[in-house]
Amino acid sequence: MRDQRRDESSSVDSHRKRDVQRGIISFYYLILFFVFAFSPDLMAAVTIFPVWSWCVLGWILSISYPLKKWFKNLQVALGLTLLNVLIVAEEPYILMRTLFDQSPKSQVHLVSLNCGGGIEEAAEEALDLGSEFVLLQESPPATQLVPLGERLGYHVFAGIDASILIKKELVEFESVSVIREPDFTLVRTPYSVIVSLRLAPPIFRLDYWTPECWTSQAELLKRRKMRTEEILRIVDKERKLIKFEGPVDVLVGGDYNAPPAQLGSKQFMNVRDSGEVRGFGWPGTAINDLPLVRIDRIWTVGMNDSKMGNWQVSSRKTRHSDHRMVIVKK
């Protein structure tokens, strides 16, 4: 009788432990969902990495319990991973679009590349594609970039960090107005506004047990958002100066130094992320050899999705930079 009671008690305890374990796992993934769905600034230390990377951490959590229970716990974790990724991650939908839309695009409309500390060969690699517009960040100095661009048929608007090159047949040099600031260069043509930017670089900290890790990431993200709003106000002001009666193209691209979960186009009025709307292939751009995050992006302002209907936005591995190149074809 005592043995029977002991067995029943042991069974109850086992079921209770199992329920507690799965409750902890479910709570972990529920927190992940809310963090990435709403992306509060205070959680910037988490959202700097993609949601699926934190889901993998949940797998480790699920198998850290008693061996005979780990497989069922892992099944729960995998199911909740699938839900999180399908709801809050962008990669599955971009990859699905790649599978179902195979129409080839030949004309390279725009290229954006961080040149990895001003490497001239990286800039030349971007220019060799013959794009109509080229946005460079950490671009080579003007003494190198201007001769290179002119040799390949471009007007060169070199900035302090970011530069813009436009095919000579598209615009007269004298008709262009340029604004140069430390983190962006803006070019206003008679029919478009083009911006190449590089926002404040990220802070890489893994000391999550310290308050400074959380506060430093949150403060940096707030500064990036404020600066992005300032740049977009300048863009809007420049756009209103254009007298062209037709549609005005407004493109704001470059190195945002933050993933879309942190600094997304939907946080700003009339802004769309071309990679989100018309992205193809694996979207990550950093780092070049292990592109986990999409920090290099092309935004459009005041352009509806239908106008991007024939675009094809993709990233390409580079030979000379630590970033991948963003390419827009149409």
In a shared domain, residues 101 and 192? yes
302: Cβ–Cβ under 8 A, 6 or more apart, which residues? 239, 248, 250, 270
In a shared domain, residues 189 and 48? no
In a shared domain, residues 118 and 241? yes
Considering 69, 89, 109, which residue would you say is the last residue of a domain?
A: 89
Q: DSSP letter at 57?
A: H
User: Tokens 């030979």 map to which residue?
Assistant: 319
Task: Report residue 130: phi and psi, to 5°.
Answer: 70, 30
In a shared domain, residues 157 and 287? yes
Residues of the chain with pLDDT > 90, as a percent, come to 75
In a shared domain, residues 46 and 107? no
In a shared domain, residues 304 and 185? yes
**How many structural domains comprise the chain?**
2
pLDDT of res. 25 = 86
**What is the rounded CA–CA span in Å between residue 217 and residue 205?**
9
| CA distance from start to end of the chain | 79
Domain CATH code at residue 112? 3.60.10.10
Q: Which positions of the chain have pLDDT values less than 70?
A: 1-15, 17-18, 65-70, 102
**What is the rounded CA–CA span in Å between residue 202 and residue 259?**
10
Q: What angle do CA 200, 202, 207 make, to 5 degrees?
A: 145
Instruction: Note the pLDDT tens digit of each residue in 272-327.
Output: 999 999 999 999 999 999 999 999 999 999 988 888 888 999 999 999 999 999 99
In a shared domain, residues 223 and 117? yes
In a shared domain, residues 19 and 141? no
pLDDT of res. 63 = 78
* Helix-then-strand count for the chain, H and E: 9, 12
Q: DSSP letter at 199?
A: P
Sort strands 184-188 and 177-181 into parallel, antiparallel or unpaired.
antiparallel
Number of Cβ within 10 Å of residue 243's Cβ equals 8
Considering 89, 109, 137, which residue would you say is the last residue of a domain?
A: 89
What are the percentages of helix, strand and coil residues in the chain, rounded to 5? 45, 20, 35
The pTM of this model reads: 0.90
In a shared domain, residues 38 and 67? yes
pLDDT of res. 72 = 80
User: Tokens 């403060």 map to which residue?
Assistant: 219
pLDDT of res. 22 = 79
* Residues 137/159, Cβ–Cβ less than 8 Å: no
Domain that holds residue 82: 2-89
* Residues 313/279, Cβ–Cβ less than 8 Å: yes
Considering 26, 54, 89, which residue would you say is the last residue of a domain?
A: 89
pLDDT of res. 1 = 52
